[in-house]
Amino acid sequence: MGSHHDHDHAHVGAGQGKIAIAAIITGLFMIAEVAGGLISGSLALLADAGHMLTDFAALSLAWFAFHLAKRPANSNLTFGYERFPVLAAFVNGLSLFAIALWIVVEAFWRAQNPGEILAGTMFWVAVLGLVVNVIVFFILRSSDEHNLNIRGAMLHVLGDMLGSAAAIIAALIIMRTGLTIVDPLLSVFVALLILRSAWVLIKDSGHILLQGAPAELNRDEICDRLLATVKGIDDIEHMHIWSLTDGRPVMTMEVNPELSTDPKIIDKNIRKCLLDDFEIDHVTIQVNDYPSPA
């Protein structure tokens, strides 16, 4: 038992270390890309740097989630810090909207007032950005791609690969044709990628914060399954399902038993059914008193 526990801690530690490396690489290149965008005059590069900022935020969040997961619950935070990543993801999503809006407004201004763009500098910085994203992607993939935080970070990096590719295409077109209008147009494309990531983050994290039921769990289906499977249940009332964090469902319910039924057996069988059929292991069950005879 102890060796398995130690193995889990070692696995989490290794994952946290790889996340930290990926975050540092992304953060350092983000700064370099901002400098490259300012020097070359390319909005597409600055837009891609904005997307890399979201990558850095997602990776930092994943690292911090690993770190906080080690902290025990206390009397004030009885569930510990498990919901912090959800709150941070919601704030991150709002900041993504602000970044995307700035890119669109700046692109409109650049289209009206085109300036000189150093396409060569823009091209090589974008190529380096694509290489960095590929490296970060494979670092994450070698960690634990089934972890929700890491999977989310991988999606961010995949989106940023498209942003780097857009900047490369814009640089090549400008070098061949001199059409600098391509730069703000492709930066709007990157902004749309950012908006998509922002919407997914806000929608998913907001649903959890509003204590919405997980998408894969249907309350009516669960109720029907319990009534059909567990003997001794007369009725189920006040069933509530929500998520403490992504992938961690919580449930409460009141159960009205049939006459001459042991409440402890009902409780035990309900928990077994929920765990076996729906993978719900955190449930609070109140078995009410028998109904009074008429």
- Give dist(CA 16, CA 25) in Å, integer: 14
| % the chain with pLDDT above 70 | 88
Q: Say if residue 292's pLDDT is above 70.
A: no
pLDDT tens digits, one per residue of 76-98:
888 777 787 788 778 777 877 88
Measuring CA to CA, how many Å separate 56 from each of 2, 62, 129?
Answer: 35, 10, 13
Segment 62-66 mean pLDDT: 76
pLDDT tens digits, one per residue of 160-209:
787 788 888 888 988 888 888 888 888 888 788 778 877 888 888 889 88
Task: Count Cβ atoms within 10 A of the Cβ of residue 6 and give its class: 0-12 exposed, 13-18 middle, 19 or more buried.
Answer: exposed
Residue from 65, 63, 59 nearest 157 by CA: 59
Alpha helix ranges (H) inside the chain: 2-40, 43-69, 84-112, 119-144, 148-177, 182-209, 219-229, 263-278
- Domains of the chain, start order: 2-209 (1.20.1510.10), 219-287 (3.30.70.1350)
pLDDT tens digits, one per residue of 96-107:
788 788 878 878
10 band by pLDDT with thresholds 50, 70 and 90: very low
Q: Say if residue 211's pLDDT is above 60.
A: yes
Task: Count Cβ atoms within 10 A of the Cβ of residue 135 and give its class: 0-12 exposed, 13-18 middle, 19 or more buried.
Answer: middle
Q: Which two tokens stand for residue 83?
A: 């919901």
- Give dist(CA 49, CA 124) in Å, integer: 14
Segment 133-153 mean pLDDT: 73
- Give dist(CA 253, CA 69) in Å, integer: 28
Q: Say if residue 46's pLDDT is above 90.
A: no
More confident residue, 281 or 102: 281
Grouping H, G, I as helix, E, B as strand and the rest as coil, residue 39 is: helix
Residue from 67, 82, 101, 76 nearest 194 by CA: 101
* pLDDT confidence of residue 2: 46
